[in-house]
Amino acid sequence: MSELRVLSPTAILGYGFPLSSFEAGLARDPHVIAVDAGSTDPGPYYLGAGKCFTQRAAVKRDLHFLVDAALKRGIPLIIGTAGGSGARPHVDWTVAIVNEVLADLQAAAKLAVIYSDIDRDLLVQELRRGRIQPLGPVADLTEEQIQTSSHIVAQMGLEPIVQALKEGAQIIIAGRAYDPTAFAALPVLKGCDLALALHMGKILECAAIAASPGSGSDCLFGYLCDDCFVLEALNPQRRCTKLSVAAHTLYEKSDPYWLPGPGGTLDLRQCTFEELEGGRVKVSGTRFVPTEKYFLKLEGARPIGYRTISIAGVRDPIMIGQIDDVIAAVKERVADNFRDLGDYQVHVHCYGKNGVMADLEPHPQPAHELGLVIEAVAPTQEVADAVCGFFRSTLLHYGYPGRKSTAGNLAIPYSPSDISAGAVYTFSIYHLLEVDDPAALFTMEIREG
């Protein structure tokens, strides 16, 4: 095929897109509509709890247009990392919405549902065989981390999605997947260059974020040719530039020249970017270097307790000038009061003074007012509530040196002042698993929707 065309409607399913942009993409006659639906960016809670960080109504709105367009045109719709984190609850959640959309449209479709959950006992066996290694600066995996993780997924490569296409699936709902794969699978199946397909997919997965001005809720179009690919923004208010596309090539990368993924690494050292007429950019020179062994990225999250937060503002310059000492003193008071209460943590995020970057902040001088987010984490919600409430009330009335009033240190915007935030999770698994068969661990079900 001399040119394969891919429509990416939005950066994440549920983020939305202008219908005018989407219709402009359809007018370019795409061979596939592909969309990424997830990310680890929102943190471990969503994987651990089996919840989705996108809203159901927003996801259904997007799917209504995507499903309708794909079925009417007879082209596949591919969804990667369904439901935000790609574990079974997230995939099933997305399947249920797709089925609702099909019912609303009075349509039927052949669905491929691909689960990426990994059995704990299998992982223990592979750990004992020495086939699991850390990914980045994390400790070696332990059997306890495997057994206590509430959900564990592997990041699938191209192979399961390509197989679903071979099975004739009209809508593919994949669990946790390497971001470019939803966009690269059909091109690779049709014989397109693997390196270019993955590189184009890496940019398309964030849609118009790669345009200028960027937006996560707008469309991007990709044309994949024999020796290059071309990207085009579909909204007349945006355009692709060399800078915007090159910058997104560097997005979420620790090395500007190498992009690792399942089965190999993209070599970007010879990559070139050329601006074309009409706000388009041509990309060429990408190479793929296969790894000797095939590794899948594992992700897992486990519960570590319950959280309560309280939000407050500080305006007194005397208190602001000694805020670190005041917070430290209140923490000591809390520790003395709850010495027999058990394990808990208290954190104070001080916005206006290192609230975002903490010790890395290059300008540590405080602002004229501070926003405090008081956070308590404990084994039970009751203990977290007690610790947070005590810290907040103690800080509210704490008598610091030079104070001119006898109360009212804090401006508290909400009543009730403390918010029980529920379970807290941490990423417990961020490792690589060596496999012999890239598709064997992923379960695919063909269904009639």
pLDDT digits (tens, 9 = 90+) for 173-185: 999 999 999 999 9
Contact of 307 with 424, CB cutoff 8 Å: yes
3 state DSSP class of 338: coil
pLDDT tier at 405 (50, 70, 90 boundaries)?
confident
Q: How far is CA 269 from the centre of its chain?
A: 27
The residue among 171, 59, 167, 157 whose CA lies nearest residue 111 is: 171
Average pLDDT over residues 128-155: 96
Within 10 angstroms of residue 217's Cβ, the number of other Cβ atoms is 19
State the pLDDT at residue 207: 97
Q: Please, which residues bridge with residue 34 across strands? A: 78
Q: Are 222 and 195 in contact (CB under 8 A)?
A: no
C-alpha distance from residue 426 to each of 48, 359, 383 (Å): 8, 22, 19
Write out pLDDT tens, residues 327-368: 999 999 999 999 888 789 999 999 999 888 888 888 888 889
The pLDDT-based confidence of 404 (bands split at 50, 70, 90) is: confident
| Structure token digits, residue 305 | 């307790």
Cβ contact 22:9 at 8 Å: yes
Beta strand ranges found along 68-211 (DSSP E): 77-80, 110-115, 132-134, 151-155, 171-174
For residue 224, the surrounding DSSP H or E stretch is strand 220-224
Predicted model pTM: 0.94
DSSP 380: S
Contact predicate 425/302, CB 8 Å:
yes
**Pick from 152, 176, 156, 177: nearest CA to 429:** 152
Map residue 234 onto helix, strand or coil: coil
